[in-house]
A and B are shown apart, each in its own frame.
Chain A
Amino acid sequence: MRFDTVIIGGGLSGLTAGISLQEAGRKVAIVSAGQNAMHFFSGNFEDIGPARDRVAALFAAAGVRTNAMDGLQLMPMGSFRPASLTLEDVTVFPDEHAAEKALIVNFTGFHDFYGTFIAEALEKAGATCRIRFVHLPEMEHLRLSPSEMRSVNIARAMDEHWEKVVGDIRILHKDEDLIILPQVFGLRDAAVLDKIRTALPARVAFVGTMPPSVPGIRTQMLLKRRFEVLGGTFLMGDEVTSAALHEGVVSSITTRNLDTARIFADHFILSSGGYFSKGLVTTPTQVIEPLFGLDIAFPENRNDWYDADFFAHQPYMDFGVKTDAELHAIKDGQPIQNLFAIGSVLGNTRKEDFGTAAGMAIRTAFAAADTIKGGNV
């Protein structure tokens, strides 16, 4: 099997690079283990910087609508966070005075959405809030198991029964100018969001829940579909088992599902993620990139990997694969000319050039894809 480019990892970074290359007519395969950080996505492309319009266009073509607007995102625990590009689910407010009067609606027994915290934040900014609960008999089956009242399960029920909930909210609504709902709508199709906005008599803001993230899962699904529609090969539920390196370039890989069949490509992109995704692996003494054994800088003394304050910046979050200016991965001090490292596997090593978080995942994906295409970086 031969491709122009093989991408290892099907998260935000890998999909963005894959779509970008497929759009340019390249033949791309993505090897994806399955779940990725998109399932825990807040919907805010932090640090997107100069790539804002480009990614908005790429996503729009995939059916993912975004808000390109500078403002504040209302977070689940009641804080506000700056945003310049978000998924359409996220309402961006110009300032913390989000409403005069807000109605916060939750589902009875749903413990992953925190109305009281949101209410308090809005009240501090001068609003008055009411928290009300809705309950559908159609959701009763979720309670048969005590761990089923979670965002995605509710979202599945809402894909079918959202109109009933809207009906209940219309009865609850008095004179509020803002209605706040948990992000449990439009798992299959984001069109529901607009329908809800139109059907309710006030502005609607969807606020995040505990993971999994319904907007994140939908986005991942749409991006994957877009990649495949463009002709890309998405190897789902597979993982790379070995990589062959000859004279400083990667020639081929093998995967678990394809057994002995080798996959050859001109270029390889490593978007295997950070620690959680096992793109980076730690032992008591080392930080390792397990597939290629790429260079990673980390302090020898394990005490220096952490800050005792959980909420302080954690040094281990900075560790990542070393790269040259064009994101070629470095092994034994030498850049591998056809291997690019993008996304969380970089840690914060390229913060100055590409920022951090979701913005970094996208910007490094574009940069690597552009280099491969031979275009402008």
Chain B
Amino acid sequence: MKRNEYDVIIVGGGITGAGTARDCAMRGLRVLLIERHDIATGATGRNHGLLHSGARYAVTDQESANECIRENMILRRIASHCVDETDGFFITLPEDDLNYQAKFVESCLAAGIPAEIVDPKDALRMEPALNPDLIGAVKVPDGSVDPFRLCAANMVDAKLHGAQVLLYTEVTGFIKNGDRIVGVKTYNHQTHKSGEYYANITVNAAGIWGQHIADLAGVKIGMFPAKGALLIFAHRVNGIVINRCRKPSNADILVPGDTVCIIGTTSTKIPFEECDGVRVTPEEVNLLVEEGAKLAPALASTRILRAYAGVRPLVSADNDPSGRNISRGIVCLDHEQRDGLKGFITITGGKLMTYRLMAEMATDMVCKKLSVDKACETAEIPLPGAGVRSFREVAEKIWENPTTVQKAVAGRLGTGAARVQAADSLDQSLICECEEVSVGEINSAIERLDVNGLTDLRRRTRVGMGTCQGELCGCRAAGLLAKAHGCTDRAREDLKEFMTERWKGMYPIGWGDALREAEYTQWVYKHVLGV
């Protein structure tokens, strides 16, 4: 057997690909995952980070709702360090129909979602950020989940089980033998080298870009790119997820995550050409702020950190122009049955919440084709970093760090925090003060987590995700990367890219304090540092 031969090749380094790689590897398959950018660069890193209870879909889509609540309970177990068990409210405002509430609760219960009507006054006591005009509230087991952390944990565990991962490597074509896909052709954007890798089965887990991958393989999938815009506020205004108790609509979910909260989303059909560079428009920003303030009035006067947008990988089912009525259901295509093309599977649709189930379905199909008889264990075996419920136990292992840093690191890495270097006070020194990221944590990430640049580092450590949006920590981290990679030219270019990427999310909300920060950053980089 040659070095570049595998049982299964997975295309896509989002949460679906990472989860599938983990599942396949845990079932003993030789796995190669190929991603053209970094992990979690598509829709995985561009959503609410909502741990859906499923309640949102209960009225319109019982199947999705039931999938959600089951996966919700599983993620609390296997990814405890990625999950914040906040609970959620579905509130009814005076302009909403209170009759919807009864139907909503009934549908939730039918789907297996615990839903409890709470007196509006009690709801306000539990979540003071709520719009005080509310006339109804239902409590459900929503939560928040850190998609970067979740994706990284799946990737790390896949590798621990023997999977190989190629980042910044694009699939440029397929190698066919008659009516069978037997491998992929690749191009590495960093080394600028082409490659060929062989496997019995290739899994297309490329999200919205999966249509293009299918095209390369010679089969057609009708995908439906629906852009969703979101805003991050600089404070954790609410402690409990807030939803509107009505038919799903624009900007009706407010999710607390780490030190911030996120309002979203919109839904706009966009052409495929725009999927790679989606931008948030001023109109979308205005709508999100306006609707968000109806959920929590404090949002109207809270500083916005940034705007971003993702593209939902939905599979066309009907002619609805908004894309909202399409089921979030999972689509797992066996192209041998569907198109007569052997050795090729597409896993798509679904959502962050159901990634594990999607991975299980795809892996079951792979195993069946390869006649591998091993049951899925991903719902039982915790991800690396999970398993310890209280951060205190973890924090004790890194006791020599200051307490705020202990909390931040244990929150990000779970039990993996014990691995963060803290040999001496030098490692404790903070690089990112907004998010409390230390020298030790950054060096650990550079060593262990395939960090190619600052943006990769941000996805793994939260460097630059805080209030200053990388203005100070960007330079400091660039210094560490220059040292680790031994190349300052690359580090400087990388810093420029990092700042440009940060700015992309800032200028759509460029007024008030955000513009003050931007002006200061401009001054520091241009006049003080001379970048």
Contacts and interface: CB of A to CB of B under 8 A. Distances in A.
Interface stretch (A10-18, A93-101, A259-267, A302-310): A302-310
B500 A77 contact: no
B491 to A, nearest CB: 8
A77 B496 CA distance: 12
Given A112-B476, A274-B519, A310-B502, A40 B528 contact: yes
A311 B510 contact: no
A111 to B, nearest CB: 4
A282 interface: yes
Nearest to A307: B507
Contact of B489 (A46, A120, A143, A316): A120
Interface stretch (A25-33, A169-177, A206-214): A206-214
B425 A79 contact: no
A210 B472 contact: yes
B267 interface: no
B428 interface: yes
B530 A282 contact: no
Interface residues of A, dominant DSSP: loop
B436 to A, nearest CB: 8
B515 interface: yes
B504 interface: yes
Nearest to B483: A116
Contacts of B499: 310-311
B429 interface: yes
A76 B500 contact: no
Contacts of B526: 311
Interface of A: 37, 40-42, 44, 46, 75-81, 108-109, 111-112, 114, 116-117, 119-120, 140, 143-147, 149, 208, 210-211, 213, 274-276, 278, 281-284, 301-303, 305-306, 308-311, 314, 316-317, 357
A108 B426 contact: yes
Contacts of B510: 282, 302, 305-306, 316
Given A120-B488, A120-B489, A305-B507, 20 more contacts: A40-B523, A40-B524, A44-B527, A77-B475, A111-B476, A117-B488, A117-B491, A119-B488, A146-B401, A146-B402, A147-B430, A210-B475, A210-B476, A210-B524, A213-B528, A275-B515, A275-B518, A283-B512, A284-B282, A284-B286
B272 interface: no
A282 B488 contact: no
A292 B148 CA distance: 47
Interface residues of B, dominant DSSP: helix
Interface string B499-523: 1101110010011100111111011
A40 B430 contact: no
Given A78-B492, A210-B472, A303 B439 contact: no
In this complex, the member of B282, B439, B499 whose beta carbon has the largest number of chain A beta carbons within 10 angstroms is B282
A302 B504 CA distance: 14
Contact of B530 (A76, A116, A149): A76
In this complex, the member of A117, A120, A305, A308 whose beta carbon has the largest number of chain B beta carbons within 10 angstroms is A117
Nearest to A216: B528
Contacts of A80: 530
In this complex, the member of B429, B480, B518 whose beta carbon has the largest number of chain A beta carbons within 10 angstroms is B429
A80 B529 CA distance: 10
B428 A75 contact: no
A146 B511 contact: no
B387 interface: no
Contact of B511 (A112, A284, A310): A284
A274 B480 CA distance: 33
Nearest to B514: A282
A275 B483 contact: no
A303 B282 contact: yes
